[in-house]
Structure 1
Amino acid sequence: MKETGVVYLVGAGPGDPGLITEKGLSRLRICDAVVYDSLLSPRLLDEVPEQCRKIYVGKRSGCHSMKQEEINQLLVELAREGLSVVRLKGGDPFVFGRAGEEIMALSDAGIPYEVVSGVTSAVAALASAGIPVTHRAVSRSFHVMTGHTLSEEGSLPADFNEFARLSGTLVFLMGLHNLSLIVKGLLNQGKPGETPAAVIQNGTLPGERTVRGTIENIEEKVLEAGIESPAIIVVGEVASLDFSATLKQPLEGCRIGVTGTDSFTGRLRKQLESLGGISENILSLLVESHRKGEEMKEAYKKLPSYTWIVFTSANGVREFFRGLMEWGYDYRSVGHVKFAAVGRGTADELLRHGFTADYIPEKYQVQDLAAGLKGLISGKDRLLIPRSLRGSKELNEILDETGVSYDDIVLYDVAIAGLESEGRAEALKNLDYLTFSSASGVEAFFREADEEIKEALEGLKVVCIGDITAKALIEHGRKADIIAGVYSIQGLTEAICRDLKE
């Protein structure tokens, strides 16, 4: 009989993935299943283990993917399977997160649980907009109410009157659709019409927008600005203050589309967003492994005969070592081998497996990798090159000049696993830049690109990670606007920063 699992109720914070707690991240990184809401960053799902089950149970106004009772039962069932479960909630689990109901269900079923607090948007979204929730001599208290709970008669809750008469800062979460009722209720309870008010949309996120006014005119200002949910309403003297950050990031407000495998785009998006960019996943590529194929099976058998293994991507490193274990070998099988890596990202992945690259070219491109190897190898060497189906032929051409023996074997291919063509075209129209990290990514992008997508591509700048990727782009009739000087995530990011500054 399986041991009972455990449920962690984790607060994901107000939206910015950087505002989750370290403890919350640690629980995500070990879980077997994650049950998550809609008002949190999808980037947090990149932190869970590869085999983790991801179950969406998001609830927005008027649209519930799963009833609360069903969520309660789901958590119990997953834990009874012996799984470590993270119930990931936007904000803090106990701030209108219904964590109490879930805990009661877990307790009744005898399931152990832990609550990991999160940063609530009731404080963080205000701070992001430059509004202090309290301020000396202005507001000595703050009070938070849910803004969407109406009575059966369609009016505000019975305790609203007492809430409206409180001094200090009043914060209404999830109340944009009831803004008119809230304003009327405040005025009816004696709040002066000139009391400062603000509405914050997408607080702490790159698309954050803030409208300021007074109780009397905030409705009109919100309509004029086209503010939409999710939004927070703030009422009180602090809403007239503006302590917005004066530090401006180099990519602030810049919208950048990324293409590639989840592993690559996850790291690239973190880098872009850390510099203030707004990133969007335009094309997800799925790695289709060939590590269990006959060619790789023979390559693993012949490992003692190879003197160099040449990796042209981090994907190649991951797939190679997975296959090594699956075919019954271990690291001792490659103890005699030297490793070459096309760039720092590939070398870092190699290091995660305990091996230091013996050679990395100064410029992180395949032709430079091959040219550098020419001076390091001799006729006595034998090379294994496990790589993508669509790997550059320039590597072969340069190595053929040396007369060295090598096996160039297909270890993996990439396939589209992202948006439909219609979705990509619409997303492209809102971008400033689009990045390509490999020739394989370019091929996959154009494989199903219709005329609308190609037309949308003309309205933005295309950034390629290197010359080979740029060459693949030219073959499809589009020249790269920017080519990174260094074949890496850092190189891509720096190229965009430099172009934007110029």
Structure 2
Amino acid sequence: MSEVSLPAARPAPFVSLVGAGPGDPGLLTLRAREVLTQADVVLTDALVSPALLAHCPQARVVEVGKRGFLPSAQQEDINDLIVREALAGGGQRVVRLKGGDPFVFGRGGEETLACRAAGVPFEIVPGVSSAVAAAAYAGIPVTHRGLSRSFAVLTGTDRHGPAAYAEIAGVDTLVFLMGVRHLPQITADLIAAGRDPQTPAAAVQWASTPQQRTVRATLGTLAQRAAEAGLGAPAVTVVGAVAALHDDLDWFCPAPLPLQGAQVAVTRTREQTGSELAALLSGRGAQVSEIPLLRFVPASSPRTLAGALSGFDGWVLLTSEQAVRALTQTLLAAGRDLRILARARIAAVGSGTARTLREYGLAPDFVPTRSGSRHLGAELPAAPGEVALHVGSQDVDPVLETALGARGIEYVAAEAYRSELSELTPAQREQLQEAQVVTLASAVGARALAQVAGTSFTAAVIGPQTELAAREAGFTRLILAEQPTLASLSDAVQRACRAG
């Protein structure tokens, strides 16, 4: 019998340089999605759609992109970080997620050269470049028989000058990336180099997204028309006879959306991507920033939790999805597993926690009629004198403890994980200050935001318990979701924007 030769496992460390496309998450390639599902760490650019992070819930996400003229990482620092993350812990799978295509003015060559110099193996996963996608979404073919046999892609951030443009006088279509801020200089230099001021031209902002806008003009008038329209970055500029085809071929006409242009900050923990809520808000037209407020670390003593649960036959209370995940991880760290709960009765604080329990093969014995610690404490089918063991973080839940104590039920807290405040970057603080609305999806998140950034925000909150915690922390401008769901929280964001 001949031996079967199995393919060699991909070596670790390993870096995947992945193109995320121009904006629409549906334009991500199948290979890119596959790579994201395998990642340990994702280093993402600022303009990457947050919906893409739903493909990598297992990964730690680090934002390294540049936003306008805010303080941001230097390219050399990003190169070093890619290598460091790949080599950490004996080797990790790192995805460098970049807008468009990483090799089209994405500095992907510099990042892969850094990997090669460090001996870190890598791959390139091309993406749909905005150089052609933005034009296509505006109904402009970069080549067209009888109009354009060639096109060139240029960066608009460099000062090329008339002499440089004269060298490409024979190219029919010019596509400028990242150049909307310098349009007056670019158009003047092109005219000085011999381009006819009447040459058709167009600028496309936020191509392929619900925020897409296109300004069609001539080379001589484009800068003024774009300024009058308030067109800003990110935008792609097309100069050439083909730009006139936009008038007949414009096909992508996103309807006005309820949150068009609104800036929303989605607060979350580092372990959560927040992408489902971010995707819902982006789909309604919002510009979304995700702000990590907390990070979770393992329990200080896994054996303490295992000891508390061993033989326990009372109620085990779980008040978050994180608590469910941490329970299983802490028990495994102590050499035990979920069979330790065989005699216990399990209560979940709401439908989300109950769903996570079922994913781990556990059906909750009780879920209150309304989500929240207050309702769990009031409705738990336990008699006075019974013990309720709350599995969660190092912090006692005062609402739950009070509700149970009022009924004579003993509350005991058991640590399955520890939560710590995240340190926000200057860019994240800027995003918070610019946000019209922030979202609060948990009481602990409300308290964390108050500690790290204050309470001077208009906030949409997911439920009464979160609202109570937010008011106790000092927030005053609160909009409560009608139901404890992400869709209802998105509705609350809309109401907050209208009220603000």
Same fold (TM over 0.5): yes
Q: Which residue of 2 aligns with 1:23?
A: 31
1:329 and 2:333 matched: no
Q: Which residue of 1 aligns with 2:5?
A: none
Which of 467, 472, 481 is the matching residue for 1:484?
A: 481
Q: Which residue of 2 aligns with 1:253?
A: 261
Q: Which residue of 2 aligns with 1:268?
A: 277
Against the structure 1 CA distance between its residues 264 and 482, is the aligned structure 2 distance closer, same or farther, given a 3 Å change threshold? farther
1:394, distance to aligned residue in structure 2 (A): 3.5
Q: Which residue of 1 aligns with 2:203?
A: 199
Q: Which residue of 2 aligns with 1:474?
A: 471
1:398 and 2:395 matched: no
Which of 304, 316, 337 is the matching residue for 2:311?
A: 304
1:326, distance to aligned residue in structure 2 (A): 0.9
1:303, distance to aligned residue in structure 2 (A): 3.0
**What are the within-5 Å matches in structure 2 for residues 26-65 of structure 1?**
26-34=34-42, 40-41=48-49, 44=52, 48=56, 56=64, 65=74
| Deviations, residues 299-322 of structure 1 (Å, cap 9, x unaligned) | 545332234321111122222222
> Partner of 2:164: helix, strand, or coil?
coil
One-letter amino acid of the structure 2 residue matched with residue 11 of structure 1 = G
Which of 363, 380, 396 is the matching residue for 1:373?
A: 380
One-letter amino acid of the structure 1 residue matched with residue 315 of structure 2 = W
* Whole-angstrom CA distance in 2 between matches of 1:208 and 1:265: 24
1:90 and 2:99 matched: yes
> Partner of 1:219: helix, strand, or coil?
helix
Matched positions, count: 484
Against the structure 1 CA distance between its residues 136 and 250, is the aligned structure 2 distance closer, same or farther, given a 3 Å change threshold? farther
Contact in 2 for aligned 1:202/1:209 (Cα 8 Å)? yes
1:280 and 2:324 matched: no
Against the structure 1 CA distance between its residues 104 and 345, is the aligned structure 2 distance closer, same or farther, given a 3 Å change threshold? same
Against the structure 1 CA distance between its residues 466 and 138, is the aligned structure 2 distance closer, same or farther, given a 3 Å change threshold? farther
| Deviations, residues 260-290 of structure 1 (Å, cap 9, x unaligned) | 3231634322232233222233x53224446
| Deviations, residues 77-107 of structure 1 (Å, cap 9, x unaligned) | 8599654343433212343446567778978
Contact in 2 for aligned 1:147/1:176 (Cα 8 Å)? no
1:414, distance to aligned residue in structure 2 (A): 4.0
Against the structure 1 CA distance between its residues 10 and 193, is the aligned structure 2 distance closer, same or farther, given a 3 Å change threshold? same
* Whole-angstrom CA distance in 2 between matches of 1:24 and 1:402: 54
Contact in 1 for aligned 2:450/2:474 (Cα 8 Å)? no
Contact in 2 for aligned 1:416/1:444 (Cα 8 Å)? yes
1:466, distance to aligned residue in structure 2 (A): 1.8
| Deviations, residues 361-414 of structure 1 (Å, cap 9, x unaligned) | 23212222223323xx34796432112455543323333354445523344454
Which of 103, 115, 125 is the matching residue for 2:134?
A: 125
* Whole-angstrom CA distance in 2 between matches of 1:80 and 1:380: 48
* Whole-angstrom CA distance in 2 between matches of 1:183 and 1:485: 51
| Deviations, residues 109-158 of structure 1 (Å, cap 9, x unaligned) | 99765432312112333455x44437999967773412349799873256
1:212 and 2:216 matched: yes
* Whole-angstrom CA distance in 2 between matches of 1:260 and 1:59: 20
Against the structure 1 CA distance between its residues 477 and 138, is the aligned structure 2 distance closer, same or farther, given a 3 Å change threshold? farther
Contact in 1 for aligned 2:12/2:93 (Cα 8 Å)? no
Against the structure 1 CA distance between its residues 185 and 25, is the aligned structure 2 distance closer, same or farther, given a 3 Å change threshold? same
* Whole-angstrom CA distance in 1 between matches of 2:406 and 2:181: 70
1:387 and 2:392 matched: yes
> Partner of 2:402: helix, strand, or coil?
helix
* Whole-angstrom CA distance in 1 between matches of 2:320 and 2:178: 45
Contact in 2 for aligned 1:364/1:486 (Cα 8 Å)? no
Stretches of structure 2 lacking an aligned partner (at least 5 in a row): 1-9
Higher mean alpha-carbon deviation, 323-332 vs 408-417, is at 408-417
Contact in 1 for aligned 2:330/2:416 (Cα 8 Å)? no
| Deviations, residues 204-244 of structure 1 (Å, cap 9, x unaligned) | 45765543321111122334456544431112213445434
Which of 328, 347, 352 is the matching residue for 2:354?
A: 347
* Whole-angstrom CA distance in 2 between matches of 1:499 and 1:150: 41
One-letter amino acid of the structure 2 residue matched with residue 494 of structure 1 = D
Q: Which residue of 1 aligns with 2:3?
A: none
Contact in 2 for aligned 1:46/1:266 (Cα 8 Å)? yes
Q: Which residue of 2 aligns with 1:11?
A: 19
Contact in 2 for aligned 1:290/1:410 (Cα 8 Å)? no
* Whole-angstrom CA distance in 2 between matches of 1:233 and 1:57: 22
1:51, distance to aligned residue in structure 2 (A): 6.5
* Whole-angstrom CA distance in 1 between matches of 2:88 and 2:467: 49
* Whole-angstrom CA distance in 2 between matches of 1:373 and 1:384: 12
* Whole-angstrom CA distance in 1 between matches of 2:449 and 2:81: 41
1:417, distance to aligned residue in structure 2 (A): 1.5
Contact in 2 for aligned 1:306/1:382 (Cα 8 Å)? no
> Partner of 1:216: helix, strand, or coil?
coil
1:437 and 2:441 matched: yes
Q: Which residue of 1 aligns with 2:168?
A: 160
> Partner of 1:162: helix, strand, or coil?
coil
* Whole-angstrom CA distance in 1 between matches of 2:81 and 2:415: 46
1:429, distance to aligned residue in structure 2 (A): 5.4
Q: Which residue of 1 aligns with 2:321?
A: 314
* Whole-angstrom CA distance in 2 between matches of 1:449 and 1:501: 24
| Deviations, residues 163-219 of structure 1 (Å, cap 9, x unaligned) | 1xx2xx542223446645653565467754333322234434576554332111112
Q: Which residue of 1 aligns with 2:6?
A: none
Which of 238, 244, 247 is the matching residue for 1:234?
A: 238
Stretches of structure 1 lacking an aligned partner (at least 5 in a row): none
> Partner of 1:361: helix, strand, or coil?
coil
Contact in 1 for aligned 2:162/2:192 (Cα 8 Å)? no
* Whole-angstrom CA distance in 1 between matches of 2:301 and 2:49: 37
Paired-residue identity, %: 31
* Whole-angstrom CA distance in 2 between matches of 1:301 and 1:380: 18
CA RMSD between the two structures: 4.5
> Partner of 2:169: helix, strand, or coil?
helix
Higher mean alpha-carbon deviation, 400-409 vs 431-440, is at 400-409
